[in-house]
Structure 1
Amino acid sequence: MLVAQTFVFSYLWAVGGNLTENYWDQFDTFVRTQFDDMGEAKLPAAGDLWSYYVDYEARRMDTWEKIVPAFKYNRDGSFFEMLVPTIDTVRFGYILDKLLSVRRSVLYTGGTGVGKSVIARGLLEGIADRQSYVPVFINFSAQTGSMRTQEMIESKLEKRRKNVLGKTLILSDGTAKKVESIKRKFCCRWSGKKEVLL
């Protein structure tokens, strides 16, 4: 039973994990139809399959909401770096953890401002605590060139051989931001130097 449920869970996320939520119901129906005759899977009748994970201790599928941790408010933390645990953060964190543990790439997609970077940062910091590694975050802007990007990334990696660098690299917000469309000139003064237009 556990092997069958693990297969269905893996199939759901491997094939349908890139779907947007408005297609989840259709894909849920499709998956249930595909595995209808597999009695040992014992798929839950209530709710959709996206609401379940395989609990290996209880040896059955259980709802994500049972493992959502309580929110702990940190007075000293930045509002924009707070991560309130939800079913989505637990769900995506679980998938991220499992994929990183077998050295697979992960790509979060979604619209602007939905919290992809905050979720990824919070999840990586949580995983780092358990797996004893330190995530490094690098910020980019529309003006960051390819050479500067390469320098920033290489400075965080360890040199293994002459032309071989190592460590796991996770990129967040890999889109090319638009350069300011309004023709503004920004000016700054550096001590001992003339004004420089940026």
Structure 2
Amino acid sequence: MRLRTTLCATSWLVAGLVLASCGSEPADGSQSSTTGTTANNSAKVSACPSTPSKPPVSNGLPDVSLRCLGEGPDIRLADLRGPLVVNVWAQWCGPCRDEAPYLAALAKTGKVQMLGIDYADPRPELAVKFATDEGLAYPHLVDQDKTIQQALRIGGPPLTAFVDKDGAVVHVHRGVLTSQQQLDQLVKDKLGVAP
């Protein structure tokens, strides 16, 4: 009986640590009331381009508009076509930091379009610092209110979606990307592009 109690307590402790490592909320549980402005140093982040309006596609990105973390217009996700890699991240997420070098390296190849979405993040100024420090030299959007949560079934960041040339989400990788080889293979297998 004592062994069972100890094992149960240990299991709950491990589960709590795993969930705390990167869940759907910042570690401090804080919420932000800043929804309409970007950080003062947002010019350091890649600007968001204008995108032509297109009809939503079946199995595509959700038909919502998100504001740019840097300069530029809001982006309507349903307008986007690939090959495109969309990475959902937050500056408070440790695994997001772990996978950032792989995303930065993929962006440098120029073989696919890249888009980041800063998710449920109460500190836009730290998000800008994260993106610039990690060399994530591609446009980033802000989703402080978890607008895309239901459509992409986001439990928490990181999450990486692969969008084909027709705008369909052909694959969603939930959790941290563990190597450059893994990311490159996903791009090749899901989007038909060899980085």
TM-score tier, shorter chain, comes to under 0.3
TM-score normalised over the length of structure 1:
0.24
Which has a greater percent of helix?
1
* TM-score normalised according to structure 2 size: 0.24
